[in-house]
Chains A and B, each alone.
Chain A
Amino acid sequence: MSPLINIFKKKSSTSNVQSIIDKYNKDQTRLMDILIDIQAEIGYISNESASLIANQLKISKVDVEQTLSFYHFFSQKETGKYTIYLNDSAVAEMMGRNEVAKAFEEAAGSKFGEVTKDGKIGLFNTSCIGMNDQEPAAIINGVIFTRITPYRAKEIIQDMKNGKAVNEMGLQSFGDGNNSSNYIQSMVSNNIRRKGPVIFSDYNLGKSIKKIVNMKPTDVIRDVKASNVRGRGGAGFPTGMKWEFCRNAAGDQRYIFCNADEGEPGTFKDRVILTELPKLIFEGMTVAGYAVGATEGILYLRYEYKYLQKYLEQVLEELKTANLLGTNIGGKNGFNFNIRIQFGAGAYVCGEESALIESAEGKRGEPRDRPPFPVEQGYLNKPTVVNNVETLCSVVKIITEGPNWYKSFGTKDSAGTKVLSISGDCMNPGIYEIEWGFNINDILKMVGANDVQAVQVGGPSGALIAPTEFDRILCYSDLSTGGSIIIFNSKRDLLKNVVLNFMDFFIEESCGSCVPCRCLTVLFREKLLKILKGNGVMQDIDDMISWGPTMLSNRCGLGHTAANPILTSIKNFRPLYESKIQQNKLFDSGFNLQEAIAECCEATGRQPIL
């Protein structure tokens, strides 16, 4: 059991807070870590704690509060001795999440968003926790519970009432692979369904390090460039070029970030790679460090995967012992590289590289204005490379097997393989490593999906694809994806259960900096709700389409794509919208006088006269 997973939360005390602040040397840039530790130890971050932190870190209290209030897993009020975060993603709902939520509420006697009166149990919703292949899932005091049933929910609440420790709440068995290792001991399953030739092929620890110590850093970059590997997070920026920019940027220190903040609903590949191949990731970071001349690496890990912390820290120790991390790596004088883990605290936008850097510096996860790009001025304003987990894994194989070997997989513009996270209505949800170039029909066949109405490619920020387009190809020039594929069969109500859920997600996760992302997303949802209520007219569809380009004036990728659930579903499933609007009306505001005066009638005891 990790000491950071709090089985029983302690009472607030100033001395605890002080010792946590001291642990991080009163370093302003470690504010996230300080808040995470206080949250874990005390259960919430009080006004007094915030004042003490501000005072000790020599920053204003507002600086503490703005970071504190930004992240989903920080709380300024008590969250209960047991805190249940139940995933509310679209797939969780498809798998019965609402029934589970109801069972939790009934058994606990309180609603979601509240803590029971005795302060024992807090029920909260949370965005996708990376368990789409085993929903409904929840995080309870840091422990992951998967495939929860209403019956199981009642058992869990009963155990809580009896004061049982969370890790003793009748785990039937641990998951496969390293999930059962001493350092993880989680019920999470890997669900690796297809191993491809790059990421999940045979791996010889340290082989790439042995090779690069005899190469010049610029030659490493040359090989990476020659392989045509592109960023696996979704944007597809050429990795070699990114490294070269960073290497050539002026700076006395450089940083390598591994972006393990996979928050796109439906993505869970990093969870599995982190569980089974952490050494491959860290080796990739070390190769990147050597190539660009960085001595420090940071794994930015989403809070939802905190259950992997102890395990990953153990792996880092092993690598140091094997001289694959630390000083004079691989026996090469001056080849120094260390890695630390930086946790997020629940914010999808931190997957965007500049927001991720802000977060790692202890601030709100708001994307920066660019230029300057992180390769010029990133973490602590030093040149910084941010690469996806999968990208860094690919690099190791590129070094050991050669760029031409790598280029032999995939398509002309999209070299290599892609690890897909596939969930929704199919026989075998899980992880599939495929070569670029598969089309959607190939994928549906591979995962055992029948009667398919639609496929969401690339998560909510991607596109909702109709069967007429199932011959489209997964590659950077056609259907680009960070790996999330969600399948919906013909029984699903796409607008109500999928598109609306995705819009809720973006409204929740917008950092609020750019006006269209903060406000227009809400207006999009209002329009959708109006249409679902039967008050829609053709103008509403036209309005939404006309608002689309305005979203491009937002600063980051989240803002650019936040209306995609609606825009792509109008494009590909227009009849769904048209069947719900009133064909005989040009205008309908949807205003209902009876509903609008109900409150007044109740307050004054009057009968409505319409």
Chain B
Amino acid sequence: MSKPIIATTSLAGCFGCHMSILDIDERILDLIELVEFNKSPIDDIKTFTKKCDIGIIEGGCCNSENIHVLKTFRENCKILISLGECARTGGLPAMRNNKVTVKECLEEAYLNCVTVDDNPDNIIPNDEELPFILDKVYPCHEIVKIDYFLPGCAPRADLIWNALVALITGKPMDLPYEVVKYD
């Protein structure tokens, strides 16, 4: 049987969840024995080259590019996992939801913020190459179907490891209390 194929991405996240994946330390050597990686920042494969078994999503969706990537993951992966609080709930970026408008966000970032020191024409970037900011930050399951959720900010490396091993081997997941943390 060929090895299961994993893809990962970070949307509106901080890459902390990916750091936590790397926190499995030397077990990464075992992981490489168990699985093959496809599109992922870990191996720097930029686009899907084949259909995958497991897609791991870090971060929620704050712009149109996130939506596009997430939908591509859904099309190419049999199972999708929301990894961490931003993917599960929108997380920290979602603090702007229902509080400030997109306009206020952009104005604060590009016009009013104390660190803006060189924008004499008061330009808010509008190049057509840029993604569009969404009206609010969405958790992934409000965009596509998500099969599993792993909580934590970031989730413990042991939680990620246990979950992947359980998923790959089909054995029950080991979920000791210390491993499941929501903060």
Contact = CB atoms under 8 A, between A and B. Distances in A.
Interface of A: 586-587, 589, 591, 593, 595-606, 608-609
Interface stretch (B40-48, B85-93, B128-136, B148-156): B128-136
Interface in B53-70: 64, 67
A599 B134 CA distance: 8
Interface of B: 64, 67, 101-103, 106, 124-126, 128, 132-136, 138, 141-145
Given A599-B101, A599-B102, A605-B126, A591 B138 contact: yes
Nearest to A587: B145
B126 A593 contact: no
Contact of A597 (B128, B134, B144): B134
Given A591-B142, A601-B132, A605-B126, 6 more contacts: A589-B141, A589-B142, A597-B132, A597-B133, A597-B134, A604-B106
Contacts of B103: 599, 602-603
15 contacts: A591-B138, A591-B142, A591-B143, A593-B64, A593-B67, A595-B135, A596-B67, A596-B136, A597-B132, A597-B134, A598-B135, A600-B133, A601-B132, A602-B103, A609-B132
Contacts of B132: 597, 600-601, 606, 608-609
A128 B72 CA distance: 49
A600 B134 contact: yes
A606 B128 contact: yes
Contacts of B133: 597, 599-600
A526 to B, nearest CB: 10
Closest 9 CB pairs of A and B: A603-B103, A597-B132, A587-B145, A599-B102, A604-B126, A600-B133, A600-B132, A596-B134, A599-B135
A604 B145 contact: no
A601 to B, nearest CB: 7
Nearest to A586: B145
A75 B170 CA distance: 58
A253 B155 CA distance: 56
A397 to B, nearest CB: 54
The DSSP consensus for interface residues of chain B is mixed
B58 to A, nearest CB: 19
B113 to A, nearest CB: 16
A193 to B, nearest CB: 47
Nearest to A606: B126
B145 to A, nearest CB: 4
The DSSP consensus for interface residues of chain A is helix
Contact of A603 (B106, B141, B142, B144): B106
A605 B126 CA distance: 8
Contacts of B106: 600, 603-604
B49 to A, nearest CB: 26
Contacts of B138: 591, 596
Contacts of B125: 604
Nearest to A596: B134
Given A595-B135, A597-B135, A603-B106, A589 B128 contact: no
Contacts of A600: 102, 106, 132-135
A604 B138 CA distance: 21
B64 A597 contact: yes
A595 to B, nearest CB: 7
Contacts of B128: 606, 609
A538 to B, nearest CB: 13
Nearest to B102: A599
B124 A604 contact: yes
Nearest to B101: A599
Nearest to B132: A597
Contacts of B142: 589, 591
Contacts of A599: 101-103, 133, 135
Contacts of B102: 599-600, 603
A600 B144 CA distance: 22
B79 to A, nearest CB: 14
Contacts of A606: 126, 128, 132
Contacts of A604: 106, 124-126
B135 A589 contact: no
Contacts of B135: 595-600
Contacts of B67: 591, 593, 596
Residue from A586, A587, A595, A600 with most neighbouring chain B CB atoms (10 Å): A600
Contacts of A598: 135
A587 B138 CA distance: 17
A457 to B, nearest CB: 36
A244 B116 CA distance: 74
Contacts of B126: 604-606
Contacts of B64: 593, 596-597
A603 B143 contact: no
A589 B134 contact: no
A162 B82 CA distance: 61
Contacts of B143: 589, 591
Contacts of A591: 67, 138, 142-143
B133 to A, nearest CB: 4
B102 to A, nearest CB: 4
A598 B145 CA distance: 24
Contacts of A595: 135
Nearest to B134: A596
B57 to A, nearest CB: 14
A602 B101 CA distance: 11
A415 to B, nearest CB: 52
A608 B63 CA distance: 13
Contact of A589 (B124, B136, B144): B144
Contacts of A608: 132
